[in-house]
């Protein structure tokens, strides 16, 4: 979009991937079994039951609007993707293992993340307030390897973005609220799997 946009995005990327790609984590390390992350929006009531984070994130900005104005941008977050390593035991059957070793490398069963981006395209300020849907489908991908395979699974994510505007002196106050609307989770693993991670 612009040089300023590119610079802002570079900073946002660092925040988005904090806890996922910036450090050489080991799954056996106790401190790495529960990742700390900015902007995690848990499913409904996850924070109340102490199995996840709050479901809402909000921000306000002041802008100087000259005449008819519109908003463009993105809501970005990570979708948790579980990578399961499975060993080929013959006859078309596979066995889940903590680590799968091939001729060239080793693969651990581990949590990865997929970047998601929801566009906000030319929303007229005069049309506010507006509620935009956030929906990311579930998915499963299988990668075949020598001696086994990697099975990557993702849970569906559901949320909404509320945008409103109100005058503030000679400026315009824009309010943004992102909410995870996923159904309540049964435990911590289910809560993080249905969370929007690193939301901004």
pLDDT digits (tens, 9 = 90+) for 120-155: 988 888 889 999 999 999 999 999 999 999 999 999
CA distance 163 to 63: 14
pLDDT band at 46 (very low <50, low <70, confident <90, very high): very high
Average predicted confidence (pLDDT) for the chain:
88
Asked if the model's pLDDT at residue 22 lies above 50, the reply is no
Within a domain: 176: yes
* Residue numbers of the domain that contains 174: 3-193
CA distance 14 to 2: 19
pLDDT band at 65 (very low <50, low <70, confident <90, very high): confident
pLDDT band at 20 (very low <50, low <70, confident <90, very high): low
Q: Contact, 70 vs 125, CB < 8 A?
A: yes
Q: Which position has the higher pLDDT, 184 or 17?
A: 184
The structure's pTM equals 0.86
CA distance 43 to 156: 11
Q: What mean pLDDT is predicted for residues 69-91?
A: 93
Within a domain: 179: yes
CA distance 198 to 185: 19
The fraction of the chain above a pLDDT of 90, given in percent, is 64
Within a domain: 180: yes
* Number of domains the chain is built from: 1
């Amino acid at each position: 979009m612009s040089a300023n946009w590119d610079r802002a995005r570079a900073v946002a990327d660092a925040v988005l991937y904090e806890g996922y790609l910036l450090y050489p984590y080991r799954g056996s390390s106790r401190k790495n079994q529960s990742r700390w992350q900015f902007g995690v929006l848990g499913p409904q009531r996850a924070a109340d039951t102490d199995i996840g984070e709050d479901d809402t994130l909000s921000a306000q900005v002041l802008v100087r609007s000259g005449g008819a104005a519109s908003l463009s941008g993105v809501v970005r977050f990570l979708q948790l993707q579980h990578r399961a390593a499975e060993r080929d035991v013959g006859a078309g059957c596979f066995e889940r293992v903590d680590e799968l070793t091939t001729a060239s490398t080793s693969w651990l069963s581990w949590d990865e993340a997929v970047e998601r981006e929801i566009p906000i395209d030319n929303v007229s300020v005069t049309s506010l307030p507006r509620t935009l849907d956030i929906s990311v489908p579930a998915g499963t991908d299988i990668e075949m390897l020598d001696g086994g395979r990697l099975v990557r699974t993702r849970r569906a994510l559901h949320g909404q973005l509320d945008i409103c505007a109100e005058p503030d002196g000679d400026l315009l106050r824009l309010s943004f609220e992102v909410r995870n609307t996923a159904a309540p989770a049964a435990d911590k693993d289910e809560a993080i799997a249905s969370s929007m991670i690193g939301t901004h």
